[in-house]
Structure 1
Amino acid sequence: MSDIDIAVDPLEVNNQKSNNVRWSPTGADGDADPLGLRDTVVHLDSLTRWNLTLLPLATDTDDDNPTVAENEKRSPFPWRNDLNNKIVLWKGDITELSVHAIVHSTNEKMTDRSYITEKLFAKAGPKLQADIKNNIRVCKTGEAKISEGFDLLCRYVIHTVGPRYNVKYVTAAEGALYSSYRNVLQLVRENSVRSLGLCCVHSQKRGYPPGEGAHIAVRTVRRFLERYGSDVDVIIFVCDDETYSVYETVLPLYFPRNPQEQRESLSRLPEDIGNEMGEPVIPERQIRISDKPTFNPAGPQKEDEFEKTVDLNEEFGKSINGSVGQHPFASMQEHPDDQKQRNPRTVNEVKHIEQQKRYERLLKRARTEDLTEISALRCLYRTGQDRFGRPVIVFVGKNFPAHTVDMEKALLYMIRLMDPIVDRDYVVVYFHTQTSNENLPPMNYLKNVYHTLDHKYKKNLKSFYIVHPTWWSKFATWFFTTFTASDIKQKVHSLKGVQFLYAKINPDQLDIPPFVLDHDIQENGPRYFVPFEEGTVEDL
């Protein structure tokens, strides 16, 4: 009996594992030794499906309203209770889920040392690491590979690698992230996985903004379920404390739970909602290699991206030996190089277009999301005008909890506050007074913010005053403006005290926190006056 492989139903596997019996894929009796008590086992019947998640009930269905009916017809993600019943939003440890498969986000060499990875390997036992070392070995960015779950509650573990985020290459990052989720879902179909624990592949460890990554994740799952919903029973979006609120906001946009939520989501959806598979759309790259490039008189065939694998060498041979001259691409009258010379587009222009699109998406979110928590910090606000009538923005470093605040919401709040102002000349005053390491955002975050903001922010900034700088802040400012923000370097000025501001901004136009004034008196005395000479960041 021990030499014969026994087919095991996945549901029975989960039941066996939850009963504290070590499960073997072969079902051999010799492997069924006690595993010891598990801390927690989360069963599917204990989780609340998305369609049953509490939400405000619609007070008016507006069935007779032609405008509402028209909106519902054109909604790209209409309300579907059957799809919502296959979705769960859950916060917890993914290794505790009693499901057919879980997703493991790792790095290219499969050597990630995050907390969840260490826990997964510890629960899976040494066989999982041996399987990765001997069989999987590496996993490229955007790929997904599957292994057995061994001593885990799940039968399979799907490993995938999310992209490193760089604001200069947003398009590549979005494409790679979509590929990760798509390839995971493709393995789900190929291995008849009915229940999946899906973690956040877009990790902040790799710099990916949680909100933008969540849009791609949820959108891809929605399009997948629209096509293959009958193949899957449930997909669980597994979150932690940081990502749960993000998914709670994004999910209703793609999985509205009633007609009212569907209508409200229309104004909050991003500009790019992907193609029919959820893949990000790049207008400049709309040429696609189809599975059958030869001319079809009956019209284009619908491509099943999750089902078909195209042998490009074989198809290219067919197109050469067959009907190259019949293909529309071969009937172009104009030489491509001539067209490019008349209508050139440089690399910088393409980057500028991508940056502008990303900023517009952020601006749209900034106008709709609830940012009251950031506003209450009083770390960034508008005050009066300088002596030339230019609006003044104040940033109070001490009030900014950089290590605990939601950095993405902080960026959205800054965009909401400053976008109406930066179309014309403006001034920024930064009080570095009594700041500590807890108030200083990472340099990479500052770089991303700088490259994310629209060009008008840099162009119309006339002066950036840093009040009460330290030696370290001067050095950091010099480094940042030298290697990242060289175009605003001459606009940045370090000031020893508040009185230096009064030569450019009247005191009655400045809303200065009391602790800043108290510190100023302690450092410079109750009455001091120094002729106003702007100290630039070069004065080190």
Structure 2
Amino acid sequence: MPEGMDPLGARSQFVDIQTLPTWQQQLKENGECIPQDLSDSLISQQSFPSPFPFRPDINRKIILFNGDVALLNCTAITNTSNELLNDKNPVSERIHQLAGPELKDELLKLKGCRTGEAKLTKGFNLAARFIIHTVGPKYKAKYRTAAESSLYSCYRNILQIATEQSMASIGFSVVNTAKRGYPLEDATHIAFRTVRRFLEKHGSSIEAVVFSVSDTEKAVYMKFLPLYYPRSEEEERLCLPLVPADIGNADGEPVVPERQIRIAEKPGSLEADSEDDNLESDLGQVGNHAFARMEGDVDKQRKLILQGHMSEVTMQKQHQRNYNRWLCRARAEDLSDIAALKALYQTGVDMCGRTVMVAVGRNIPVTVIDVEKALLYFIHVMDHIAVKEYVMVYFHTLTGEHNHLDAEFLKNLHDTVDAKFKKNLKAFYFVHPTFRAKVSTWFFTTFSVSGMKDKVRYLDNLEQLFNCVRPDQIDIPPFVMDYDARVNGRSQSSGL
């Protein structure tokens, strides 16, 4: 704000965020704030890495400010309001008071804002150049899942606007107002993990994120900040047992997981059916994979059950522990190199409204890929998809020998993933199969993994696929469309 527009010196009340200590700096100022009653035995049981590892580069962007968000000189601050953008909560009223009457006029032009959305206006007389307005959900325990998703959307959409507008700093008010009844602790978990995941993936242009809180909210924020933004490896280690089991998906978005992981016959999913001509070529090599060692000798466990040395319940618990370890690792590790292959991704829905997952065989460079990271990525992507009914579309188009996963690897994968993967897989569409692929898949689904054979559907062309999934609901690689047009004599745009 130019000095000429502020003759009475009112600007002195505004807070320069550069004078505020970052979260990383607060470790030295406040000392250790982690509960000290965590026993060594409890900590030692956590053998998997934290899903929120120590990241000083992110911590230096985080600021906890006990004060009025309207006073911050961030590029933008957030205003929490109602659907008509005329709420009378203390945060909103203070922003309007300092911004001036022009803000009210500007909000009338927006014609409201739906729950979970975010809209942008100028900051007018504030130190902040912009205000991002959002509408938090009304909380009812009966509709908790919907409320969680809406609150996530509030934070995510605010951050998205900040990135699109190249904003250097953003000041967050507490979106979940007491007026709307959202439990403060539950809401804080969602806020912290959403911001953390966004900064990990898209936060390069954001220099500062300020959480503005009152005295009441500060205690909760101080309690949970170390869980999502540990300031040292020691703090990370101490906080790991306190991290909630439910941390959302890769973006922090709430999912509805099955709380009790059960063992059953687990699906081959992507890799089980993408295996092709090379079914029997590399048997015996998979035992060297780390995931095979972690899972243990499944056949030996089954023999022990038959001999009466290991109960079915014990085996279920062992499997649950193993799968949980993999899921925690999948959430914590950098899998961007695997994601870049575009070998597995989500598109739209099929004719029955079920989620469609796409697997592209030609994009799996088996000879050079880190198979352990590939497994982590598969679990990372599929864990929240498989909680509901879904279908898999596998493009076998133009796969070569270097794209074929060996049978033992697939069998171990089948024995590693959770029961829900198979339970909720309703169809596996195998597009452009070769004769040898059909034979190999028949043997594999008949003798290695039960329950899969009846779900496999072989489709020779895209027209057959479009009878199951509309063209606008699936992202098909260009080389697949080119191949189909060439082999089946259709134009590339046929059905699209």
TM-score normalized with structure 2 length: 0.51
Asked if 2 retains the 8 angstrom alpha-carbon contact of 1:78 and 1:256, the reply is: yes
Q: Which residue of 1 aligns with 2:347?
A: 290
Deviation string 1:230-289 (CA, Å, 9 cap, x unpaired) is: 21100000101211111000100000111221111111111201111111221269x995
1:56 and 2:18 equivalent?
A: no
Q: Which residue of 2 aligns with 1:104?
A: 79
Q: Which residue of 2 aligns with 1:202?
A: 176
Q: 2:91 aligns with which of 116, 127, 136?
A: 116
Q: 2:19 aligns with which of 41, 46, 50?
A: 46
Deviation string 1:195-214 (CA, Å, 9 cap, x unpaired) is: 11011111211000100100
Distance 2:124 2:204 in 1: 27
Q: 1:128 aligns with which of 93, 99, 103?
A: 103
In structure 2, the CA distance between the partners of 1:90 and 1:121, relative to structure 1 (3 Å rule), is same
Secondary structure of the residue aligned to 1:128 is helix
Segments of structure 2 that go 5 or more residues without pairing to the other structure are: 35-39, 260-268, 270-344, 349-355, 365-373, 379-392, 398-425, 431-451, 457-496
Distance 1:190 1:72 in 2: 39
Distance 2:202 2:162 in 1: 11
1:155 and 2:129 equivalent?
A: yes
Asked if 1 retains the 8 angstrom alpha-carbon contact of 2:346 and 2:358, the reply is: no
Distance 1:125 1:35 in 2: 16
1:87 and 2:62 equivalent?
A: yes
- Offset of residue 116 of structure 1: 2.3
Asked if 1 retains the 8 angstrom alpha-carbon contact of 2:113 and 2:119, the reply is: yes
**Amino acid of the residue matched to residue 24 of structure 2?**
N
Q: Which residue of 2 aligns with 1:214?
A: 188
Segments of structure 1 that go 5 or more residues without pairing to the other structure are: 1-16, 23-32, 60-64, 304-318, 336-540
- Offset of residue 68 of structure 1: 7.8
Asked if 1 retains the 8 angstrom alpha-carbon contact of 2:427 and 2:455, the reply is: no
Asked if 1 retains the 8 angstrom alpha-carbon contact of 2:46 and 2:241, the reply is: no
**Amino acid of the residue matched to residue 14 of structure 2?**
V
- Offset of residue 122 of structure 1: 2.2
Distance 1:261 1:140 in 2: 39
Higher relative contact order (CA 8 A, sep 6+): 2
Q: Which residue of 2 aligns with 1:457?
A: none
Asked if 2 retains the 8 angstrom alpha-carbon contact of 1:88 and 1:236, the reply is: yes
**Amino acid of the residue matched to residue 95 of structure 1?**
A
Q: 1:226 aligns with which of 184, 200, 219?
A: 200
Distance 1:72 1:90 in 2: 35
In structure 2, the CA distance between the partners of 1:126 and 1:293, relative to structure 1 (3 Å rule), is same
Deviating more after overlay: 276-285 vs 263-272: 276-285
Secondary structure of the residue aligned to 1:157 is strand
Secondary structure of the residue aligned to 1:283 is coil
- Offset of residue 39 of structure 1: 5.6
In structure 2, the CA distance between the partners of 1:334 and 1:35, relative to structure 1 (3 Å rule), is farther
Asked if 2 retains the 8 angstrom alpha-carbon contact of 1:105 and 1:200, the reply is: yes
Deviation string 1:81-100 (CA, Å, 9 cap, x unpaired) is: 11110000111111111110
1:37 and 2:10 equivalent?
A: yes
- Offset of residue 293 of structure 1: 5.5
Q: Which residue of 1 aligns with 2:163?
A: 189
Distance 1:69 1:271 in 2: 17
- Offset of residue 72 of structure 1: 7.7
Distance 2:33 2:81 in 1: 42
Asked if 2 retains the 8 angstrom alpha-carbon contact of 1:80 and 1:255, the reply is: yes
Secondary structure of the residue aligned to 2:147 is helix
Q: How does 1:161-310 map to 2 (within 5 A)?
A: 161-283=135-257, 290=347, 295-297=359-361, 298=363
- Offset of residue 71 of structure 1: 5.0
Distance 2:347 2:429 in 1: 15
Asked if 1 retains the 8 angstrom alpha-carbon contact of 2:226 and 2:239, the reply is: yes
Deviation string 1:307-333 (CA, Å, 9 cap, x unpaired) is: xxxxxxxxxxxx9xxx9xxx9555784
- Offset of residue 37 of structure 1: 2.4
**Amino acid of the residue matched to residue 290 of structure 1?**
T
Deviation string 1:439-467 (CA, Å, 9 cap, x unpaired) is: xxxxxxxxxxxxxxxxxxxxxxxxxxxxx
Q: Which residue of 2 aligns with 1:78?
A: 53
Asked if 1 retains the 8 angstrom alpha-carbon contact of 2:82 and 2:135, the reply is: yes
Asked if 2 retains the 8 angstrom alpha-carbon contact of 1:197 and 1:238, the reply is: yes
Secondary structure of the residue aligned to 2:191 is helix
Secondary structure of the residue aligned to 1:290 is strand
Larger Rg: 1
Asked if 2 retains the 8 angstrom alpha-carbon contact of 1:103 and 1:197, the reply is: yes
Asked if 2 retains the 8 angstrom alpha-carbon contact of 1:197 and 1:236, the reply is: yes
**Amino acid of the residue matched to residue 213 of structure 2?**
C
Identity of aligned residues (%): 40
How much is the aligned-residue C-alpha RMSD, in angstroms? 3.5
Distance 2:139 2:53 in 1: 31
Distance 1:41 1:79 in 2: 32
Deviation string 1:461-498 (CA, Å, 9 cap, x unpaired) is: xxxxxxxxxxxxxxxxxxxxxxxxxxxxxxxxxxxxxx
**Amino acid of the residue matched to residue 111 of structure 1?**
N
Secondary structure of the residue aligned to 1:74 is coil
Asked if 1 retains the 8 angstrom alpha-carbon contact of 2:80 and 2:91, the reply is: no
**Amino acid of the residue matched to residue 85 of structure 1?**
R
- Offset of residue 221 of structure 1: 0.7
- Offset of residue 228 of structure 1: 2.2
Distance 2:74 2:9 in 1: 20
Distance 1:190 1:69 in 2: 43
